[in-house]
Amino acid sequence: MAYLPLANILHHKLRSLLNALGIGIGICMLLTLSGLSRGSLGEIADRWDAVNAQLLVYPAGWGESTPTLSGVGLSDRFAQRIEQQNPGKVARAVPVFLWPMKVGGQDHLAAGVDPGQWDMLAGGKKLSGGRLFDPDMSFAHWLEKQLLEEASGDDLASITDADLASRGALELVIDSRLAKKASLKVGDDVHISNHNWKIVGVVPEGGLARVYLPRRTAQFLFGSGSITKSTVIFVDLVDDEGVEQASRDIRNDTRQEVVQVSQYRNMLQQKWGVMYTYVDAVNVVALIIAFLFIAVMLYTMVLQRTREIALLKSFGASSAFVIRQVLAESLLMTFAGCAIGIGVSYAAGWAIEQVTLYTVTIGPHWIAIAIAAAFAGAVISACYPAWRAMKIDMVEALTME
């Protein structure tokens, strides 16, 4: 079968390849950037969702679009109060101290957790190597005794890093992906936030954080001089049904913000909405450039091939036939470009996940958008060249040198 658009594309292999690449790069940018921005946030939200709790309590006034929750927030007494005020409804209220720590060259929101609450916060994941920090809470109890009990004469300033280290306070558990990316393993020493830590355990990824430390350590080091406050409180309810009611009760009682953990996703999205807009704008520009490419290519193709188009018309090709040739060429090129773009996106996504801790989620939704945009662009950019092709004067084209 003589199929002219394909024959044309194959006749000008390099030019066609460059054009398909131009489109492919546009598509790849669209998929990778949106996949990266949304994927990384989605991955964080997924990890929060994995926490075995329904409600999240954080300080009143931080608002819905609060910057990343971290540092001193709620008094630990709220946790006790929430449990006491809702007997039979709240299984446990667990304070967590969140703090950004740079590990493996990237900032992570590390979670200061009590070893006893590990199962709730790590999303049910068992350590795949090593052990948990401060397993029998001896450091926690010692620190509480030093700082919380009236009788103690010690104060914050007299406790040194050496004390902390000797009592197992400067120990970290990291997740498997960070361990792989940063080439860290159980037993390694790392210097983070001006302290020397030891990695004592590795847990499969998927829990609240990538980096865990003892909550008392976090409070002591990053809690502005007091170990009475954490950042947020996770509340595990006995009965999933009563989430709304429990949420209202706790809000009324504590007068703090209470949201469902699943809503954290929306909070992240609100916070990063501007970035999405920015990324999407860049994507649109990339696609437009890709299609200017095609439009120019089709236009030069039409100009270069006036004679061939004139010949087709001399056999009686209708305007529709001529337009179809130009359009088909544009669509074929776009099809190739889409295939390249999608293929490269998956490869790029995989590569990014190997080299960094970002997550690239290339959803079918975005592939559909990319393909739709590509084909719409293909049709639009074929319009003017097709119109020019239709207007070609046969005699002029076939007699002029």
Partner 1 sequence: MLQAYDLHKSYGRGSSAVQVLTGLDLRVEEGEFVAIMGPSGCGKSTLLHLLGLMTAPDKGEIHLENSRVDHCPRTRTAVRRRRIGIILQRFNLLPELSAMDNVEISLQVRGLRKTGLVDELFEKLGVAHLKGRKPSRMSIGEQQRIAVVRAMAHQPRLLLADEPTGSLDSKNTQNLLEMFARLNREQRQTIIMITHSADAAAIAGRTVRMKDGRLLD
Ligand X SMILES: Nc1ncnc2c1ncn2[C@@H]1O[C@H](COP(=O)(O)OP(=O)(O)OP(=O)(O)O)[C@@H](O)[C@H]1O
- In the bound state with partner 1, the residue whose beta carbon lies nearer, of 200 and 301, is 301
Task: Verify binding: residue 355, ligand X, rule CB under 6 A.
Answer: no
For 190, the token pair is: 């790392």
In the complex, what is the shortest distance from the CB of residue 323 to ligand X, in angstroms, rounded to a whole number?
25
Q: Which is nearer to partner 1, 1 or 355 (CB)?
A: 1
Given the rule CB under 6 A, which of 97-105, 285-293, 297-305, 392-400 is the region that contacts ligand X?
392-400
Q: Report the partner that residue 321 touches, choosing among ligand X, partner 1, none (CB closer than 5 to 8 A by kind).
A: partner 1
- Name which of 13 and 191 has its Cβ closer to partner 1: 13
* Nearer to ligand X (CB atom), residue 120 or residue 309: 309
75 closest CA partner among 208, 209, 253, 219: 219
Beta bridge partners of 233: 57, 95
Q: How many whole angstroms separate alpha carbon 194 and alpha carbon 145?
A: 25
Nearest approach in angstroms of CB 316 to partner 1 is 3
Number of residues forming the site for ligand X (CB under 6 A) = 4
Q: Is 189 in the site for ligand X (CB under 6 A)?
A: no
3-state secondary structure of 98: strand
Q: Which of 1, 2, 274, 395 binds ligand X (CB under 6 A)?
A: 395
Query: Binding to ligand X by residue 401, rule CB under 6 A?
Result: no
- Give the residue carrying structure tokens 């990384």: 40
Judge contact between 31 and 342, C-beta under 8 A. Answer: yes
User: Which C-beta is closer to ligand X: that of 282 or that of 394?
Assistant: 394
3-state secondary structure of 184: coil
What's the closest the beta carbon of residue 320 comes to partner 1, in angstroms? 9
Instruction: Give the interface segment with ligand X, choosing from 40-48, 69-77, 242-250, 391-399 (CB under 6 A).
Output: 391-399
Tell me which DSSP letter residue 53 carries: -
Interface residue list for partner 1 (CB under 8 A): 1-2, 4, 7-8, 10-11, 307-308, 311-319, 321, 393-395, 398-399
Give me the half-sphere count of Cα atoms (radius 13 Å) on the Cβ side of residue 326. Answer: 33
Q: Is 355:104 a contact under the CB 8 Å cutoff?
A: no
- Options 61, 241, 400, 401; binder of ligand X; rule CB under 6 A: 400
Q: Is 314 in the site for ligand X (CB under 6 A)?
A: no
- The C-alpha atoms of residue 273 and residue 86 are separated, in whole angstroms, by 36
Q: How far is the CB of 338 from partner 1 (least distance, A)?
A: 24
119 binds, among partner 1, ligand X, none (CB under 5 to 8 A by kind): none
In degrees and rounded to multiples of 5, residue 303 shows phi and psi of: -65, -40
Give whichever of 316 and 364 is closer to partner 1, judged by the CB atom.
Answer: 316
The encoded tokens of residue 339 equal: 């295939």
Q: Which is nearer to partner 1, 138 or 399 (CB)?
A: 399
Q: Scanning residues 53 to 92, which ones bind ligand X (CB under 6 A)?
A: none
**Separate counts of helices (H) and strands (E) for the chain:** 14, 12
Least distance CB 305 / ligand X (angstroms): 18
**Pairwise CA distance, residues 321 & 37, whole Å:** 43
Beta bridge partners of 202: 129, 174
What does 312 bind: ligand X, partner 1, none (CB cut-off 5 to 8 Å by kind)?
Answer: partner 1
Residue of minimal CB distance from ligand X?
399
Structure tokens at 56: 């999240």
Our CB check for ligand X shows the closer of 339 and 394 to be 394
Q: How far apart are CA 138 and CA 209, in angstroms?
A: 23
Any contact of residue 396 with ligand X (CB under 6 A)? yes
Give the torsion through C-alpha atoms of 122, 123, 125, 129, to 10 deg.
-20
Question: Least distance (Å) from partner 1 to the CB of residue 23?
Answer: 21
d(CA 12, CA 153): 85
Q: Assess contact for 341 and 28: CB atoms under 8 A.
A: yes
CB 332 within 8 A of CB 11: no
Nearer to partner 1, 7 or 303 (CB): 7
Residues forming contacts to ligand X in the complex (CB under 6 A) are: 395-396, 399-400
